[in-house]
Amino acid sequence: MSNCQNPLVYFEIPVEDLDRAMNFYNKVFGFELHKTKIDGLEMALFPFQESAKGISGALVKGEIYKPTITGVLVYFGVKSIDDVLKKAVINKGKVLYSKTSNGELGYVAEFKDSEGNRIALHQAKE
């Protein structure tokens, strides 16, 4: 058994066009992604701070990485789902699941990104 408090430590989102995906995520979330190559794969790393809570990941382009709306679902924590969904649509994304209350946990929503992946959002209840 892992000695981590939370079992998930990293995620990868498949992309077909790394520059297009970087542009999309930058405009929708305001992230500064960093391009790199790891094991021959083109990647763009999401921001990460060792001292902060949560995990990070990357956009990845490679032969075995295929965007999909039917695979694993990644949730991004946001301050305003409404603002993020608006930016996603402006940048050629599509709302798949409108903002919905999740009771005491807050709100959730889903959209399709520029590559065809289903991405989820979580907004904590204030």
What domains can be seen in the chain, in order of their start residue? 10-123 (3.10.180.10)
On the 0-12 / 13-18 / 19+ scale of CB atoms within 10 A, 74 is middle
**pLDDT averaged per 10 residues, the chain (length 126):** 70 98 97 95 93 90 96 96 98 98 97 98 93
Between strands 34-38 and 10-14, the pairing is: unpaired
Spatial distance between the Cα atoms of 123 and 101, rounded to a whole number of angstroms: 9
Is the pTM of the predicted complex or chain greater than 0.75?
yes
Spatial distance between the Cα atoms of 126 and 117, rounded to a whole number of angstroms: 29
Spatial distance between the Cα atoms of 61 and 96, rounded to a whole number of angstroms: 23
